[in-house]
A and B are shown apart, each in its own frame.
Chain A
Amino acid sequence: MAIETQPERAQGAGGGLPAEGGGGRPWWARPAIHTAIVGAVVGYLLGHALGDYLTGATGAANQYPNVPLSDSEDWPIVLGYTLAIIGWLAGLGVFNDILRQMVGRPISGNGRAHQNSGLARFFRYELDHKVVGIQYLVGMIIYFCTAGLLAMAMRTELLSPVNHVFTSQVYIEIVGEHGTMMMMLMTSVIVGPFGNYLVPIMIGSKRVAFPRIEALSFWLTPMAFLILLSGFMLGGFPFGWTGYAPLSIQATVGADSYAVAFGLMGVSVALAGFNIIVTVICYRAPGMRWGRLPMFVWSMVSTSFLFVLAAPVLFAGMYMLIMDRTAQTAFFEDSLGGSSYLYENVFWFFGHPEVYILALPGFGIVSELIPVFCRKPLFAYKVAGAGMIGVSLLSFFVWQHHLFDSGINPDMRPLFMVTTELISIPTGFIYLVALGTFWKAKIRFRVPMLFCIAMYFNFLIGGISGVYLSDVPADTTEHGSFFVMAHFHYTIMGGLIFAFMAGIYYWLPKMTGIKLNEKLGLWHFWIMFIAFNSTFLPLFAVGDAGQPRRVFEYATNLQGLNDWVSISSYFLGFSILLFVINFVWSTVIVREREVGNPWQSRGLEWQVSSPPPADNFDQIPVVLSSPYDYGVKDAQPVADLHPPAGVVTAAIMSADAARVEA
């Protein structure tokens, strides 16, 4: 039997976290975002000066005759970014408690500040997982909208095959920034807001395992975002989100922003993953067996394992890239004994699990939500869990399908063709579960459910088009074309982002006690769903007609389709604007209260008030039954929120007995 109790101190008030401190000082003297900005600026200037000094002092000359643009200017930029990150964290007060402990003073810094502060806590290094969740939510919406605007800029350029809105330089910068921003920051789009906020409540805990690590994982994301954006000021980077060497070594200083930001985001997600894994293993309430774990928590666990195992590989790749660019190592430089294949393999060994990092949380949300709106138990719970674990395991064995045409050992191709196609079996489980749950259900078409259904539809197209790409001969036509682009937008935007929207409409009343306007939500849904399909479905045809990705000029006979796509993309952007309007309107202006359980959900998170009390639960609850027992006659409540003292053990035993009788 798994560990059924939490560490003792986590059961006390505040989950055993340090009490509020730092009071008495004026607000501007307390560490928060403004001191962090000061720290980052100071850090950058210091680092830049250090870099100038080092390269000036050593007179590092260009050692790469064949990559004429790699030069000593990279040193000040990279060191500036590095010290800016440290300065940012120091300004936030991340190191305060660590330093206090080192000198033997009691820790007090920034724990549990929320009890006596309002909005300000969202701008601080705050240890409450609920605050971190909201910080992530707002951050992710900002990052997503920024990268989305860049996408619309790209589509504007592609309105005409020969006339240009941007120069090729600006266009290639936008391509790189859009792709990298989406791929690196959207890794946390569900794990960050919903994983951090909901997992402890769903498993009946007052806290997460590592609140400092969790808060740190969030506060690295604004820095990654800003560093990546600062690439625009340095001339951008011309290599998309993949950063294939030696192009990324040849590129100008803008490439440093890519490598540092992407590496930093690797650190952030690895930290977030550790926290969630340990929280779920060690902090489940009594009675929360693995077999009762909500599907969403399963998806968070499997995603977190991918975070922890894949992100270090990314970090290593980015580190080697930075070394190649600054210290003149030659990991990826063919003429000096390195290999560009090494980069491709390192990148995709991270990159393919990354793709599933972007799919699994979506599976988790839709699987969690459909029983609520179907008023039925989740069909084949174990198959759903096996699907998620199977996907995350197999995702480490498929990466070379990105390299089918690259000149890898040809013997590898049938092998990776098999593994790639095998992964569609566990993915299919998610559909089996959905279709089984729909069977004889009483389906309520509320806004979150509509987004779930759209997610299944989009991901079906995305998944099936992925099978084409796993077949080497078919892939030889489709690799690197708009077909691939349409495929992964169907899985990531159509899957992950639609599920993210479902999650917002579903859980925002829980997180804030305020519900989103349902009518605007319906408009948002229908425009987004239609515009999304109208944008990306034609791109399969564009790709199969021979248009490569990331081009700014294309065959003139494809202008009609491209224009259709571009105009649809504006509607898609408009639907996101509607969402932002709805979000701001509902949460800031109207603030319609929704404190109860609007979806009649059995989930443990809905058994506490909205928003949840500071400690989540007065006492650690005893979980009595599955969260999906809809339609069961005389079903037990999902948990006893106020178990009498001393009967926790008895409650577990009686629940077991009830299960045996059933």
Chain B
Amino acid sequence: MAASSAEAASPTARTGPNHGLRIFLIWLPIAVIADWLLYFVYGPHMPPGTMSTSAASQQFDIKVMSVLAAPVFAFVVVYAGYAFIVWRHREGDDTDGPPIYGHARIQATWITISAVIVLCLAAFGTYELGAFGQSSLAGAGAGEGPSPIWKPNGTPLQIQVIAQQWRFTYRYPQYGGFETTALYLPVGQPIQFNVTSIDVIHDFWAYQLGVKADANPGVNNIAYTTVEHTGTFEVRCDELCGLWHGAMFNQGNVVSVAAFQAWAHKTEIKLASVTKMLPAYATSYDPTTIAQLNKAMVKAGIAGANGYYYPPQDPVQP
């Protein structure tokens, strides 16, 4: 029993095999291999891809998080697995374990390490938002509200996202303010999404672009990104908005700057008569004026019910 009281004073005191060293030696290769696999093998394929600057920065963050998480997870699992095998109760042994109430140095080390990891993560996340003036990050694609503080360089292309139950429409104020359900973006140019809603809260989630911003009624929620590859991307509503929330999605297209200009000018001319009847471009729309507008829309034979731009889009009953 003298030995056990010595152990009580110091659980690392060597009275048998050095369990700590063994656990460390099992853990180390697992942690290194897991990190290598996560960063170099799986890392480039991690969501949400690298289609835009914001998507790439999110992928990098998820990669870094994974590289930090894997050793922590592996340590707890290896330690516990080792304990369950080595220190399991054996048949016929009714004695208790050593009375160890704590160990000041181990406790202090644990607290210090976890605090350091956590604070580094917080600093890293803040840096990744573009808080230290890296204009390429510009808020990492998240909605920054009506007065963003982290912006990209240059004049961004403005696209207003108007959410309603249950579809998105897009307005291009730099092209006469026409409104359409098609979303085209030019490659390589900073884009500013002005996200708003005319009824309940929605969320504009362009998955491959790494852009996510809530659409709040009466509020302009701004998110930035710069697309780096042409192609298509998914747009989904990411905030439960009622009955057909699951059917509120469409597809966007990223095209070359020239193709975008051509499309925008063509659409502006095509929709000129409709654009005239829309309310003037604003960062948000008061639903009560939309109700009045509705009358004009119905008169012109365009669309309208329930005081909305468009009738609530009930997809075909499944």
A residues touching B (Cβ–Cβ < 8 Å)? 65-66, 68, 162-164, 167-169, 171-172, 175, 238-240, 242, 244, 246-247, 250-251, 334-335, 340-341, 374-383, 404-411, 413-414, 417-418, 421-422, 424-425, 428-429, 431-432, 434-436, 438-445, 453, 456-457, 460-461, 464, 467-468, 470-477, 479-481, 544-546, 548-555, 629-633
Taken residue by residue from 102 to 143, chain B's Cβ proximity to chain A (1 for < 8 Å, 0 otherwise) reads as 110011001100110011011011101101000000011111
Partner of B96, one of A163, A341, A375, A428: A375
* Interface check B242, CB cutoff 8 A: yes
Chain B residues contacting A435 (CB-CB under 8 Å) are 76, 79-80, 83
Chain A residues contacting B95 (CB-CB under 8 Å) are 375, 442, 631
Contact indicator A240/B125 (Cβ below 8 Å): no
User: Which residue of B has the minimal Cβ distance to A158?
Assistant: B246
Contact indicator B242/A406 (Cβ below 8 Å): no
Chain B residues contacting A457 (CB-CB under 8 Å) are 77, 80
Partner of B200, one of A244, A404, A444, A550: A244
- A85 CB to closest chain B CB (Å) equals 28
Chain A CB within 10 Å, residue with most, of B131, B150, B199, B207 = B207
- A258 CB to closest chain B CB (Å) equals 13
Contact indicator A250/B199 (Cβ below 8 Å): yes
- Excluding A246-B217, A406-B201, 20 further A-B contacts by CB distance (< 8 Å) are A65-B291, A66-B291, A169-B243, A175-B240, A238-B243, A244-B200, A250-B199, A404-B142, A414-B122, A429-B111, A440-B98, A441-B83, A456-B80, A460-B73, A468-B65, A473-B58, A473-B60, A473-B125, A473-B141, A631-B98
Chain B residues contacting A479 (CB-CB under 8 Å) are 212, 238
Contact indicator B99/A630 (Cβ below 8 Å): yes
- A252 CB to closest chain B CB (Å) equals 11
A162→B316 CA distance, assembly (Å):
12
Contact indicator B318/A431 (Cβ below 8 Å): no
- B223 CB to closest chain A CB (Å) equals 8
Describe B's contact surface by its main secondary structure. Answer: mixed
Chain A CB within 10 Å, residue with most, of B72, B89, B237 = B89
Contact indicator A242/B291 (Cβ below 8 Å): no
* Interface check B231, CB cutoff 8 A: no
Contact indicator B242/A428 (Cβ below 8 Å): no
Contact indicator B245/A172 (Cβ below 8 Å): yes
A334→B110 CA distance, assembly (Å):
48
Chain B residues contacting A375 (CB-CB under 8 Å) are 89, 95-97
Partner of A407, one of B144, B243, B318: B144
- A214 CB to closest chain B CB (Å) equals 34
Contact indicator A440/B100 (Cβ below 8 Å): yes
Given the interface pairs A421-B121, A438-B87, A456-B80, the reply to whether A168 lies near B318 with Cβ below 8 Å is yes
Partner of B242, one of A172, A413, A464: A172
Chain B residues contacting A414 (CB-CB under 8 Å) are 122, 125-126, 129, 131
Contact indicator B142/A405 (Cβ below 8 Å): yes
* Interface check B216, CB cutoff 8 A: yes
Partner of A376, one of B61, B84, B99, B212: B99
Chain B residues contacting A378 (CB-CB under 8 Å) are 101
Chain A residues contacting B58 (CB-CB under 8 Å) are 473-474, 476-477
Contact indicator B80/A424 (Cβ below 8 Å): no
Contact indicator B199/A407 (Cβ below 8 Å): no
User: Which residue of A has the minimal Cβ distance to B62?
Assistant: A474
Chain A CB within 10 Å, residue with most, of B11, B240, B287, B306 = B240
A242→B239 CA distance, assembly (Å):
11
Contact indicator A439/B236 (Cβ below 8 Å): no
A659→B241 CA distance, assembly (Å):
62
Chain B residues contacting A175 (CB-CB under 8 Å) are 240
Counting from the closest, the 9 A-B pairs by CB-CB distance are A551-B246, A631-B96, A407-B221, A473-B140, A376-B97, A334-B218, A438-B83, A407-B145, A247-B200
Contact indicator B72/A464 (Cβ below 8 Å): yes
Given the interface pairs A250-B199, A414-B129, A445-B88, the reply to whether A66 lies near B288 with Cβ below 8 Å is yes
- B74 CB to closest chain A CB (Å) equals 11
User: Which residue of A has the minimal Cβ distance to B55?
Assistant: A477
Chain B residues contacting A633 (CB-CB under 8 Å) are 1
Contact indicator A443/B87 (Cβ below 8 Å): yes
Those of B145-183 within 8 Å (CB) of chain A: 145-150
Contact indicator A335/B218 (Cβ below 8 Å): yes
Contact indicator B97/A631 (Cβ below 8 Å): yes
Chain B residues contacting A168 (CB-CB under 8 Å) are 243-244, 246-247, 318
User: Which residue of A has the minimal Cβ distance to B317?
Assistant: A167
Contact indicator B99/A405 (Cβ below 8 Å): no
Partner of B121, one of A407, A434, A471: A471
Contact indicator B122/A340 (Cβ below 8 Å): no
Chain B CB within 10 Å, residue with most, of A240, A438, A545 = A438
User: Which residue of A has the minimal Cβ distance to B223?
Assistant: A405
* Interface check B210, CB cutoff 8 A: yes
Contact indicator B200/A630 (Cβ below 8 Å): no
- B276 CB to closest chain A CB (Å) equals 24
- A478 CB to closest chain B CB (Å) equals 8
Chain B residues contacting A472 (CB-CB under 8 Å) are 125, 128-129, 140, 142
Chain A residues contacting B87 (CB-CB under 8 Å) are 438-443
* Interface check B19, CB cutoff 8 A: yes
Given the interface pairs A413-B129, A479-B238, A553-B247, the reply to whether A405 lies near B213 with Cβ below 8 Å is yes
A375→B97 CA distance, assembly (Å):
5
Contact indicator A428/B114 (Cβ below 8 Å): yes
Chain A CB within 10 Å, residue with most, of B57, B102, B128, B199 = B102
Given the interface pairs A436-B100, A480-B212, the reply to whether A467 lies near B145 with Cβ below 8 Å is no
User: Which residue of A has the minimal Cβ distance to B85?
Assistant: A443
Contact indicator A473/B83 (Cβ below 8 Å): no
Contact indicator A417/B125 (Cβ below 8 Å): yes
A477→B219 CA distance, assembly (Å):
22
* Interface check B307, CB cutoff 8 A: yes
Chain A residues contacting B79 (CB-CB under 8 Å) are 435, 438
Contact indicator A440/B306 (Cβ below 8 Å): no
Chain B residues contacting A631 (CB-CB under 8 Å) are 4, 95-99
Contact indicator A407/B239 (Cβ below 8 Å): no
Chain A residues contacting B55 (CB-CB under 8 Å) are 477
A661→B2 CA distance, assembly (Å):
18
User: Which residue of B has the minimal Cβ distance to A461?
Assistant: B73
Sample 9 A-B pairs with CB under 8 A, ordered by A number.
Answer: A246-B201, A374-B97, A379-B102, A405-B203, A432-B106, A443-B84, A443-B87, A474-B65, A630-B97
Contact indicator B234/A545 (Cβ below 8 Å): no
* Interface check B48, CB cutoff 8 A: yes
Given the interface pairs A375-B97, A552-B246, A631-B96, the reply to whether A425 lies near B102 with Cβ below 8 Å is no
Partner of A172, one of B62, B93, B214, B243: B243
Chain B residues contacting A334 (CB-CB under 8 Å) are 216-219
A553→B317 CA distance, assembly (Å):
12
